């Protein structure tokens, strides 16, 4: 024997029926806190601040980035031949 039961209710109604707590205030508080943290840290990941933090460690970082991009583009062998 096979029995199918269909219940048409919202998630909130189902939680109330089974006696589960309403977690929407906690969920709202967590999401608000997460949004505040993201907005506070968004300035740290802006392109300007990332480049500034990268180039403050070593003055030769710009040269190294340029060499890395030249090598990745496949022009590294040509640049070495030109220097010889």
* 71 and 84, same domain (yes or no): yes
Residue 14 within a domain: yes
**Dihedral, CA atoms, 59, 63, 66, 72, nearest 10 degrees?**
-110
- For tokens 């505040």, the residue is 36
Mean pLDDT within 54-78: 73
Assess whether pLDDT exceeds 60 at residue 63. Answer: yes
73 pLDDT band, cuts 50/70/90, is confident
Range from 21-30, 52-61, 64-73 carrying the lowest mean pLDDT: 52-61
Instruction: Write down the pTM of the prediction.
Output: 0.43
Dist. CA 65–CA 84, nearest whole Å: 22
Please tell me the distance from the alpha carbon of residue 65 to that of residue 48, in angstroms, as a whole number.
16
List the domain range (segments joined by +) for residue 29: 9-45
Task: Classify residue 3: in a domain, yes or no.
Answer: no
**Residue 82: pLDDT band with limits 50, 70, 90:** low
């Amino acid at each position: 024997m096979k029995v199918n039961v269909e219940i048409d209710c919202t998630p909130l109604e189902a939680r109330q029926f089974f006696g589960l707590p309403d977690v929407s205030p906690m969920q709202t508080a967590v999401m608000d806190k997460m949004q505040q943290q993201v907005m506070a840290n968004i300035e740290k990941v802006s392109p300007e601040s990332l480049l500034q933090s990268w180039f403050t460690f070593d003055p030769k970082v710009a040269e190294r980035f340029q060499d890395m991009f030249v090598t990745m583009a496949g022009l590294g062998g040509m640049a070495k031949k030109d220097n010889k």
